[in-house]
Amino acid sequence: MDMKTGETHSGRGEPALEAIGIGKTFATTPILKGIDLRIAPGEVVALLGPSGCGKTTLLRIAAGLLAPSAGRMRIAGQLVADGAHHALAPEARGIGMVFQDYALWPHLNTLANVAFPLRMRGLPKAERNKRAHDALARVGLADMAERFPGTLSGGQQQRVALARAIVAEPPLVLFDEPLSNLDRELRESLALEMGTLLRELNLSAVYVTHDQAEAFTIANRVAVMLGGEIAQIATPEALFSDPATPEVAQFLNIGALIDGEIRAREFRCHGRMVRVTAPGEDHADGPARLLIPRTAIARSDHGPLKARVARCQFQGDRYLLHLDFGEGDRSLVCPSDSPVAQGEMISLALNATRLRLFAHA
> 322-346, pLDDT tens digit by residue?
888 766 555 778 778 888 899 888 8
For 211, how many CA atoms within 13 A lie in the half-sphere containing its CB? 18
The radius of gyration computed from the CA coordinates of the chain, to the nearest angstrom, equals: 24
Q: Which of 52, 100, 101 is nearest to 227 (CA)?
A: 52
* Whether the Cβ atoms of residue 115 and residue 167 lie closer than 8 Å to each other: yes
Residue 4 has pLDDT above 50, yes or no: no
SS3 letters for 327-350?
A: CCCCCEEEEECCCCCCCCEEEEEC
Model-level pTM?
Answer: 0.84
As a whole number of angstroms, the distance between CA 294 and CA 268 comes to 20
Residue 154 has pLDDT above 80, yes or no: yes
Which span out of 36-50, 155-169, 337-351 was modeled with the highest average pLDDT? 36-50
Which residues are paired to 259 by β-bridges?
Answer: 289
Q: What is the DSSP letter of 176?
A: E
* Whether the Cβ atoms of residue 196 and residue 119 lie closer than 8 Å to each other: no
Sheet of 319-324, strand order:
332-336, 319-324, 305-314, 345-348
Question: What are the residue ranges spanned by the domains of the chain?
Answer: 17-95+170-241, 255-359
> 79-90, pLDDT tens digit by residue?
999 987 888 999
Fold of 255-359: OB fold (Dihydrolipoamide Acetyltransferase, E2P) (2.40.50)
Q: How confident is the model at residue 75 (pLDDT cuts 50, 70, 90)?
A: very high
Fold of 17-95+170-241: Rossmann fold (3.40.50)
